[in-house]
A and B are shown apart, each in its own frame.
Chain A
Amino acid sequence: MKSAVVVFPASNCDRDAAVALEQISGTKPHIVWHADSEVPDVDLIVLPGGFAYGDYLRCGAMASQSRVMRDVKAKAEKGVAVLGICNGFQVLAETHMLPGALIRNAGLKFVCRPVAMTVEETQNAFTRKYNHGQRVVMPVAHGEGNYFADEETLDRLEGEGRVVFRYVNDDNPNGAARNIAGILNEKRNVLGLMPHPERVCDPLLGGTDGRALFESLIEALS
């Protein structure tokens, strides 16, 4: 699997994503600078966590206008897999590559802690190595991860099997609608999620529940 990690100014989980990809796939990802007009020819593009452009406007709003995102969008339309983690999910929502918005956490505070989720869908490139209904724990670290969409959109996401990760009932860290932690686009090749799978790929760091996500991608895209 060939992959690329996009770096915006003040992305800060780019190295973590690159390390996880390299450790699990055995291949170093390309690192793509936000001002580049083209992403290399790859199977997977990762939009990492961080505070792109400082996130002084709405999170992800500035990044959605960056030069590189035009090509990310075009490649996604052609079927290239795109994974947006945390800030990456916010960028995907701001680019309208995923529906809905990530608004301020219900508790009005940044929250960093492990959260329990269930894997709701496994019929896609991102989660095929998980069991349907499997309980996984990954850390979140965000101030604006409260997934919001109108009822019609939420019903549609549910009906089309596009809610991939859901916080377990009493462990919703941000007030997200219907406990949604991660969703797919209509074509099922773009996934955005707030928790950080790349931080739980090594038993020393408190868990390995993130590994299956990268292993799924390798199996699906290699």
Chain B
Amino acid sequence: MITPQIVREHGLNEEEYARIKGLLDREPNLVELGVFSVMWSEHCSYKSTRAHLKTLPTKGPRVLQGPGENAGVVDIGDGDVVVFKMESHNHPSFIEPYQGAATGVGGIMRDVFTMGARPVAMMNSLRFGEPAHPKTRHLVDGVVRGIGGYGNCMGVPTVGGEVNFDRSYNGNILVNAMCVGLARADKIFLSAAKGAGNPVVYVGSKTGRDGIHGATMASAEFNADSEEKRPTVQVGDPFTEKLLLEACLELMATDAIIAIQDMGAAGLTSSSSEMADKGGAGIVIDLDKVPQRETNMSAYDMMLSESQERMLAVLKPGREAEAERIFKKWELDFAVIGTTTDTHRLIVKHKGEVVADMPVGSLSDAAPMYERPFVKRAPATGMPSFDASRPVMESLLKILAAPDMCSKRWVWEQYDQSVMADTVQMPGGDAAVVRVHGTNKALAITTDVTPRYCRADPYEGAKQAVAEAWRNLTAVGALPLAVTDCLNYGNPEKPEIMWQIVAGIDGIGEACRALDFPIVSGNCSLYNETQGEGIMPTPTIGGVGLLKNVNRMATIAFKREGDAIILIGETKGHLGQSIYLREVEGKEAGAAPSVDLAQEKKNGDFVRDLIESGHVDTVHDISDGGLLVAVAEMALAGNRGGAVAPGTIPFLFGEDQARYVLATPDGERLVSDAKRAGVAATLLGSVGGDRIAIEGAGEITLSELRKAHEAWLPGYMSGEF
């Protein structure tokens, strides 16, 4: 008997329950209610965002598969494709940081190898609470160890990411993991289980009671008791995942598979119903055949378990023995647990009885879709005051030592960055670069978002996140191809949060259209709130680009004494919402910088041409901290100093967009080429020496800068401050 209390405990409201009864033409039983609750959860159904996500550009001449599958697929020529996606694992990582982060990595890797691709690079975008918060150190430690523990064992390099701190994440950290894989265009596997009478096989780990209702947990706010939700967090086993990866790729080399999907959020429920739904088929599964880790598991437990390292595949009839041989070789469970039908129904049997029987469409297309009300808020405006007499070099030192700006070496050294022997650019540059194995091509990969801009102006901030990702790929010489996004926001039932979401999606769409940078995959993570406090809007953008010739590539490091330092792009000196204001003046105020997308494209295309034609090999985009911080980072990376012409504080530290710093032996020629192309270019100074110097504003040695830049994170983590 389903009581209103049980319905509420499943995160469904009265109208949603009435809708379920209408779809079934009767009351659901408990198993069915559980299935509806996870499939209709925000996490699985995107019920608050679906209407808005439809407006995003998802097509392009290179896009072979856009959103809707396990990951996006983009053509990179010669029959090769890149397969990628980013996904959040925020809620579980806050409750249990090691396992939450580890299974986030495992889950996104499965999404990529389910498509037939071998994962070749991982990135992650991490946001933690303020350093002084009592939980932050523990969470940083657990998340970083979890990412490393899983990714290192898998033998996939973790090549970069972001780590930031802000008090708005005190109760809701963000762990967004991105996986990039490579496949052949004619060997892509999809999840549509077309046809009736085909065997449904279960492979991988056994099913246990872990992670039950994980998707529902991730679709609600936290309260003071959130720690009690620890049993909803899954436990990862990277060893089994590595075997599953190799076994799946081995099976995929045959032509036995019709459809395949990983069991991620909502496990057996979502994989079986989604495969049937996409294939226009039905599916019958017999839970008695499911490999089980524990005894006496109920149908409810099994359908809602989020045990990791499991896959569901539909094979061509008669190919079961061949597939079983491969999974037995890799010492993995293999079981035929059902068959596809033409009934369009998901039928679940347990101990000889039908325990669930529902139309597959009722779980997906018929899921509720809300046009939630939103209240438009005016963006922050104005230009806060600042003290123009502050000493520049002291400010530079302070910024480079700040938690958000300091070196993240402590993090990335815990990740294997060079396994697979194709990592050409490691963490620390604008984008990571990974060679396409056995070729001269390479992929550039980055993740970006500046949440403080998004808080001040959700629309411009989201535009900026896309533009910065595009710029970072351009800065290494890559042609930006496509985007995956992870939209992290608070509670969409609050109109002011819904406005952030709507404006953010609009901004992303606008920038992606202007920059020919379509969205091919992604996810939304809403309800990132604790006791009514929401996070800053954080639409993380994962960008992937292509270098046709990996030998024509730029890095940020200064390389030659005497190179001219050149600024590309127009500088008005925008200090609103800048790192300078926050770290030096202690103000988080003013308008976020706006992005002129046409100028962004023009400047970027100019810089990329210079790299592709072999004229420039030293480039850094200008973002957090502005021009002088960019120059200092280039100097530290190359261990060569530089002398820069004098400028005002807004000039040196402003965060105007669409800008790059270049270093090249022939500066004058570059400046005149830029003028001809209609791109602003300014000769700033030259590379040399062991310090950063500005006439009239003093100097600072690289060793002093380096010490400050490297000190904060290891010191903080060891409890020194």
**Chain B residues near A56 (CB, 8 Å)?**
239
- The listed residue (B148, B153, B412, B417) touching A10 by CB distance below 8 A is B153
- The listed residue (A16, A54, A205) touching B153 by CB distance below 8 A is A54
**Chain B residues near A211 (CB, 8 Å)?**
none
| B618 shortest CB reach to chain A, Å | 17
- The listed residue (B149, B238, B413, B420) touching A111 by CB distance below 8 A is B413
Q: With the chains together, A216 CA to B211 CA distance in Å?
A: 52
Q: With the chains together, A50 CA to B153 CA distance in Å?
A: 7
Given known contacts A50-B155, A204-B424, A205-B418, A10 and B239 CB-to-CB distance under 8 angstroms: yes
- The listed residue (A16, A55, A113) touching B421 by CB distance below 8 A is A16
Interface string of A7-41 (1 = CB under 8 A from B): 00110110110011000000000000000000000
Given known contacts A10-B153, A141-B416, A19 and B421 CB-to-CB distance under 8 angstroms: yes
Contact residues of B with A, CB < 8 Å?
A: 145, 148-149, 152-155, 237-240, 242-243, 330-331, 412-424, 426, 435, 550-551
**Chain B residues near A13 (CB, 8 Å)?**
155, 419
Interface string of A118-135 (1 = CB under 8 A from B): 000000000000000000
Query: In the complex the two chains form, is B414's CB within 8 Å of A110's CB?
Result: yes
20 new A-B contacts, CB < 8 A, other than A51-B152, A51-B155, A201-B421, are A10-B153, A10-B238, A12-B153, A12-B155, A12-B242, A19-B421, A51-B238, A54-B153, A54-B238, A54-B239, A55-B239, A109-B145, A110-B148, A111-B413, A112-B413, A112-B416, A141-B419, A199-B421, A204-B550, A205-B424
Q: With the chains together, A206 CA to B413 CA distance in Å?
A: 16
A198 CB-CB contact with B under 8 Å: yes
| B137 shortest CB reach to chain A, Å | 14
Given known contacts A12-B153, A54-B153, A205-B423, A196 and B239 CB-to-CB distance under 8 angstroms: no
Q: With the chains together, A207 CA to B412 CA distance in Å?
A: 20
A219 CB-CB contact with B under 8 Å: no
A148 CB-CB contact with B under 8 Å: no
Q: Which residue of A lies closest to B144 (CB)?
A: A109
Q: Which residue of B lies closest to A12 (CB)?
A: B155
Q: With the chains together, A56 CA to B426 CA distance in Å?
A: 28
Query: In the complex the two chains form, is B413's CB within 8 Å of A16's CB?
Result: no
Contact residues of A with B, CB < 8 Å?
A: 9-10, 12-13, 15-16, 19-20, 49-51, 53-56, 109-113, 139, 141, 143, 196, 198-199, 201-202, 204-206
Query: In the complex the two chains form, is A9's CB within 8 Å of B419's CB?
Result: no
Query: In the complex the two chains form, is B421's CB within 8 Å of A53's CB?
Result: no
Query: In the complex the two chains form, is B237's CB within 8 Å of A141's CB?
Result: no
15 contacts between A and B (CB under 8 A): A10-B238, A16-B419, A19-B421, A20-B421, A50-B155, A111-B413, A112-B152, A112-B412, A112-B414, A141-B152, A141-B419, A198-B421, A199-B419, A205-B423, A206-B426
Given known contacts A51-B239, A205-B423, A112 and B417 CB-to-CB distance under 8 angstroms: yes
Q: With the chains together, A141 CA to B426 CA distance in Å?
A: 14
**Chain B residues near A49 (CB, 8 Å)?**
419
- The listed residue (A19, A20, A51, A141) touching B418 by CB distance below 8 A is A141
- The listed residue (B154, B418, B550) touching A112 by CB distance below 8 A is B418
**Chain A residues near B420 (CB, 8 Å)?**
15-16
Q: With the chains together, A199 CA to B157 CA distance in Å?
A: 12
Q: With the chains together, A198 CA to B242 CA distance in Å?
A: 21
**Chain B residues near A113 (CB, 8 Å)?**
413
Query: In the complex the two chains form, is A205's CB within 8 Å of B421's CB?
Result: yes
Query: In the complex the two chains form, is A10's CB within 8 Å of B413's CB?
Result: no
Q: With the chains together, A198 CA to B243 CA distance in Å?
A: 23
Given known contacts A56-B239, A112-B413, A112-B414, A12 and B421 CB-to-CB distance under 8 angstroms: no
**Chain B residues near A196 (CB, 8 Å)?**
418
**Chain A residues near B423 (CB, 8 Å)?**
205
Query: In the complex the two chains form, is A111's CB within 8 Å of B550's CB?
Result: no
**Chain B residues near A55 (CB, 8 Å)?**
153, 239
Query: In the complex the two chains form, is B435's CB within 8 Å of A112's CB?
Result: no
Given known contacts A20-B421, A141-B152, A199-B421, A10 and B243 CB-to-CB distance under 8 angstroms: yes
| A120 shortest CB reach to chain B, Å | 24
| B455 shortest CB reach to chain A, Å | 34
**Chain B residues near A112 (CB, 8 Å)?**
152, 412-418
Query: In the complex the two chains form, is B551's CB within 8 Å of A54's CB?
Result: no
Given known contacts A51-B239, A204-B551, A205-B421, A12 and B154 CB-to-CB distance under 8 angstroms: yes
| A87 shortest CB reach to chain B, Å | 10
**Chain A residues near B421 (CB, 8 Å)?**
15-16, 19-20, 198-199, 201-202, 205
**Chain B residues near A51 (CB, 8 Å)?**
152-153, 155, 238-239, 242
Given known contacts A111-B413, A196-B418, A204-B551, A53 and B239 CB-to-CB distance under 8 angstroms: yes
**Chain B residues near A20 (CB, 8 Å)?**
421
| B418 shortest CB reach to chain A, Å | 5
**Chain A residues near B154 (CB, 8 Å)?**
12
Q: Which residue of B lies closest to A198 (CB)?
A: B421
**Chain A residues near B418 (CB, 8 Å)?**
112, 139, 141, 196, 199, 205-206
Q: With the chains together, A113 CA to B242 CA distance in Å?
A: 23
| A35 shortest CB reach to chain B, Å | 8
Q: With the chains together, A110 CA to B410 CA distance in Å?
A: 11
Query: In the complex the two chains form, is B414's CB within 8 Å of A111's CB?
Result: yes
**Chain B residues near A139 (CB, 8 Å)?**
418
| A90 shortest CB reach to chain B, Å | 14
- The listed residue (B237, B414, B422, B551) touching A109 by CB distance below 8 A is B414
| A205 shortest CB reach to chain B, Å | 6
Q: Which residue of A lies closest to B237 (CB)?
A: A54
**Chain A residues near B239 (CB, 8 Å)?**
9-10, 51, 53-56
| A14 shortest CB reach to chain B, Å | 9
The 5 closest A-B CB pairs, nearest first, are: A12-B155, A54-B239, A16-B421, A141-B416, A51-B153
**Chain A residues near B331 (CB, 8 Å)?**
9
Query: In the complex the two chains form, is A9's CB within 8 Å of B148's CB?
Result: no
**Chain B residues near A19 (CB, 8 Å)?**
421
Q: With the chains together, A171 CA to B417 CA distance in Å?
A: 19
| A5 shortest CB reach to chain B, Å | 13
Q: Which residue of A lies closest to B417 (CB)?
A: A112
| A126 shortest CB reach to chain B, Å | 19
Q: With the chains together, A75 CA to B238 CA distance in Å?
A: 32
Residue among B153, B243, B331 with the highest chain A CB neighbour number at 10 A: B153
| A18 shortest CB reach to chain B, Å | 10
Q: With the chains together, A199 CA to B149 CA distance in Å?
A: 20
Residue among B243, B416, B422, B424 with the highest chain A CB neighbour number at 10 A: B416
Q: With the chains together, A113 CA to B409 CA distance in Å?
A: 10
Q: With the chains together, A55 CA to B239 CA distance in Å?
A: 8
| B179 shortest CB reach to chain A, Å | 15
| B359 shortest CB reach to chain A, Å | 41
Q: With the chains together, A13 CA to B331 CA distance in Å?
A: 20
**Chain A residues near B145 (CB, 8 Å)?**
109-110
Q: With the chains together, A13 CA to B416 CA distance in Å?
A: 11
Q: Which residue of A lies closest to B420 (CB)?
A: A16
Q: Which residue of A lies closest to B422 (CB)?
A: A205
| A34 shortest CB reach to chain B, Å | 11
**Chain B residues near A16 (CB, 8 Å)?**
419-421
Q: With the chains together, A48 CA to B330 CA distance in Å?
A: 18
**Chain A residues near B148 (CB, 8 Å)?**
110
Given known contacts A110-B152, A204-B551, A205-B424, A9 and B414 CB-to-CB distance under 8 angstroms: no
Q: Which residue of B lies closest to A173 (CB)?
A: B413
Q: Which residue of A lies closest to B118 (CB)?
A: A15
**Chain A residues near B149 (CB, 8 Å)?**
110
Q: Which residue of A lies closest to B330 (CB)?
A: A9
Q: With the chains together, A15 CA to B245 CA distance in Å?
A: 15
Q: With the chains together, A109 CA to B415 CA distance in Å?
A: 10
**Chain A residues near B242 (CB, 8 Å)?**
9-10, 12, 51
Q: Which residue of B lies closest to A50 (CB)?
A: B155
Q: Which residue of A lies closest to B550 (CB)?
A: A204
| A22 shortest CB reach to chain B, Å | 11
| A210 shortest CB reach to chain B, Å | 10
Q: With the chains together, A196 CA to B421 CA distance in Å?
A: 10
Residue among B148, B154, B155, B551 with the highest chain A CB neighbour number at 10 A: B155
| B352 shortest CB reach to chain A, Å | 37
